[in-house]
Structure formats: C-alpha cells, structure tokens
C-alpha cells in the first residue's frame, strides 16, 4: 500500500502540467499550421474542402482532450481514464486527422521546389518502411503489448520523458497504422487491398486479444476493477473505430474496381459502334 501511495505521489509531482504542455503544444501548433495552410492554399487554388478542415479540428481536439484537462489528470491514477485517453489519442484522433489529408494540403501550400523535396521524402525507403501495413501494425499493436505487459506502464508515470515519448509514440503509431490501411493522401507505394485487409484483420485480433489479456492480467499497480472496465473500453471502443477503418477500406476497394469496369464497358461499346 505504501509503494502504491508513493507511486501516486510521484505521479502527481510529475504531472504538474509539463508533460501535457509539451504534448498539447504539438497539437496546438498542428491546428494553427493546418489553418494557415488552408488560408494560403485557398488564395492560389480552389477552396480546400471545409469537411477536411473540420475533421482536422476534431482530431486535434480529441487528441488534446486526452492530454489536457480532466481525462489527462485522472489518467495518471485511474486506468479507466487512461484507456479513454488511449482511444482518443491512439485511434480516433489519428483517423480523423488522416481523413483531413494533411500531406495533400502541404503539397498544395509549399513552393514547387520544396513540394518536390517533400515528394522525394515520401517516396524514400524510410517512408515506405514505416507506412508499410506490417511495420505500422507492429509499431502500433506491438507497442501496446509492450506497454501493458511490461513494467513500462508504471515507469511511464514515474518519468516525465518516458511519459512524453510513450504518448507521442501512441499517436504517431496510430496515425501510421491508419494511413497504411486507408489511402487518403497521395501514396507512391500502394499495397493490394487484399493484403491490407489480411494485415488489418490480424492487427485487430492482436488488439482484441490484448484487451482480454489486460482484463485477466492488469498492468503493475492497476486495481482489478479498473483493469476490467478499462479493457472493456479498449475492446468495444476500439471495435467502433476499427469498423470505421474497415468500412473505408472496403469502400475504397469497391470504388477501385467499379469505375474501371464501367470505363471498360463504355470503351467496348464505342468500339462496336
């Protein structure tokens, strides 16, 4: 009991606002730069879709809600609140921000020379590697297994820098996983739909199994009742967001085949006429 109290006192001493400030500042700047890019782009090209700006705004807000305010404060000592923050930061925010197509906006905003440099960067082998479905899944799901099945979870609440790095990883890994499964931004290295569907199914199974493992084997320092409720939030909440990714992947798959069949039929009809 004393060690548990000591851990909580250490947590409160580290959670005076500095870790949240570093992480929150990243998302605040992301929102500011996105809006500035929209304004600049609209002066040169057709208006940027308002729905994408709204998606980016809500993505940033959900990420910020997991890092600042009551959810973030309770997450230091309450595993259930932590898991709510995990869903917002690692799943919902990355999905909404990916749908906002930030790379396409950035390419429209940058000067031609810098846009070409960015294009070369997106085509480089590190970019191809980290956005590959298998690698992105390992970073995302594998990172969660490492966090919740090792002492890393308790260490996160004892060190400010470990806290910052882990939460930054959760968001980045969630974003890479999302963009590796559904292509919203321009992509130079596309993997087949069937391949992505198989990897996505395995990754979702890994996420579901981990939530059940947490239910039976809570992380160090987490009470059983909090682990049970948190794991259910992870399982069912994750399913809702995963269903959105599955729907969009299937929709893209359908659209990639349907128009081609129509064009082929039209061209054949023209030839016969």
The predicted-structure confidence for 111-170, as pLDDT tens digits, reads as follows: 888 888 888 888 888 888 999 999 999 999 999 999 999 999 988 888 888 888 999 999
- C-alpha 17/C-alpha 26 separation (Å) is 14
Name which residue leads in pLDDT, 128 or 271: 128
Q: What is the pTM of this model?
A: 0.86
Q: Say how far apart CA 85 and CA 71 lie, in whole Å.
A: 7
The pLDDT, as a whole number, for residue 272 is 33
What are the CB-based long-range contacts (under 8 Å, 24+) for 193-201?
Answer: 193/249, 193/252, 193/253, 193/256, 195/133, 196/133, 196/249, 197/249, 197/253, 199/133, 199/134, 199/137, 200/133, 200/137, 200/245, 200/246, 200/249
Query: What's the distance, CA 193 to chain centroid?
Result: 20
CA separation for the pair 259, 185 (Å, rounded): 20
Helices then strands, counting H and E runs in the chain, come out as: 16, 0
Torsions phi, psi of 105, nearest 5?
-65, -45
């Amino acid at each position: 009991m004393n060690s548990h109290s000591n851990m909580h006192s250490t947590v409160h001493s580290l959670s005076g606002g500095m870790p949240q400030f570093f992480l929150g500042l990243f998302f605040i700047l992301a929102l500011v730069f996105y809006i500035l890019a929209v304004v600049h782009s609209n002066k040169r090209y057709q208006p940027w879709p308002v729905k994408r700006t709204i998606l980016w705004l809500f993505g940033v807000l959900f990420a910020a809600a997991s890092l600042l305010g009551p959810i973030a404060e309770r997450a230091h000592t309450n595993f259930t609140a932590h898991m709510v923050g995990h869903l917002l930061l690692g799943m919902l925010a990355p999905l909404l921000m990916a749908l906002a197509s930030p790379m396409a906006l950035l390419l429209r905003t940058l000067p031609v020379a810098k846009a070409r440099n960015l294009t070369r960067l997106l085509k480089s082998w590190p970019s191809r590697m980290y956005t590959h479905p298998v690698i992105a899944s390992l970073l995302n799901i594998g990172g969660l297994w490492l966090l919740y099945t090792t002492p890393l979870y308790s260490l996160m609440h004892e060190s400010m820098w470990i806290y910052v790095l882990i939460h930054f990883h959760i968001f980045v890994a969630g974003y890479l996983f999302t963009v590796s499964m559904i292509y919203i931004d321009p992509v130079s290295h596309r993997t087949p739909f069937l391949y992505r569907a198989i990897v996505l199914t395995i990754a979702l199974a890994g996420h579901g199994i981990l939530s059940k493992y947490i239910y039976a084997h809570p992380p160090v320092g987490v009470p059983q009742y909090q682990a049970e409720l948190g794991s259910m939030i992870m399982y069912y909440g994750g399913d809702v967001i995963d269903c959105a990714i599955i729907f969009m992947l299937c929709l893209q798959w359908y659209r990639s085949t349907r128009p081609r069949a129509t064009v082929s039929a039209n061209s054949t009809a023209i030839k016969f006429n």
